[in-house]
Amino acid sequence: MASIRSPQQLGRALRAARKQLALTQPQLALAAGVGVRFIVDLEAGKPTLRLENVLRVIDALGGEIHLTGLPSVASDDQGEDDDHGP
């Protein structure tokens, strides 16, 4: 499992995964439902990309995100509004 601490590291990891799967950037973009420019920017480590689309690309590559060092959450959507309430 790769430890990712910067947008550049994420971009390098996703580029390596794409190449290992023998996918072109246009093929990955189509599979993830994003534009080719998004894939180019993501692989270049652009720090201001939309998280929803980043997650779509990770999913299209067959990956998933695991957070370590944080408290566990009982379900996927639990606590969505925790920071917004009184």
User: What's the pLDDT tens digit per position in 49-70?
Assistant: 999 999 999 999 999 998 888 8
Q: How many angstroms separate the first and last alpha carbons of the chain? A: 38
pLDDT over 70 (residue 23): yes
Q: What is the pLDDT of residue 57?
A: 98
pLDDT over 90 (residue 12): yes
Q: Token match 């990955």: residue? A: 28
Q: Where are the domains of the chain?
A: 7-60
Q: Are 34 and 56 in contact (CB under 8 A)?
A: yes
- 7-60 is classed CATH 3.30.428.10: no
pLDDT classification of 73: cutoffs 50, 70, 90: confident
